[in-house]
Amino acid sequence: MTSNKLLSTGRRKTSSAKVFLIPGGTGNISINSKDMDKFFGNNPRLKHVVSSPFDYVKDQKFDCKITVRGGGCASQAGAIRHGIARAIASLGESFHLSMKRAGFLTRDPRMVERKKPGKPKARKRFQFSKR
Q: How far apart are CA 49 and CA 77, in angstroms?
A: 6
pLDDT digits (tens, 9 = 90+) for 28-79: 999 999 999 999 999 999 999 999 999 998 888 899 999 999 999 999 999 9
Q: How far apart are CA 103 and CA 112, in angstroms?
A: 22
Q: Which backbone phi and psi does 77 adopt, to 5 degrees?
A: -65, -40
Q: Parse the chain into domains and list their residue ranges.
A: 6-102
Q: Which backbone phi and psi does 8 adopt, to 5 degrees?
A: -150, 160
Please state the pTM of the whole predicted model. 0.89
pLDDT digits (tens, 9 = 90+) for 79-131: 999 999 999 999 889 999 999 999 999 999 999 999 999 999 999 999 999 98
- For 37-53, letters b (16+ CB in 10 Å) and e give eebbeeeeebbebbbeb
pLDDT at 60: 85
CATH of domain 6-102: 3.30.230.10
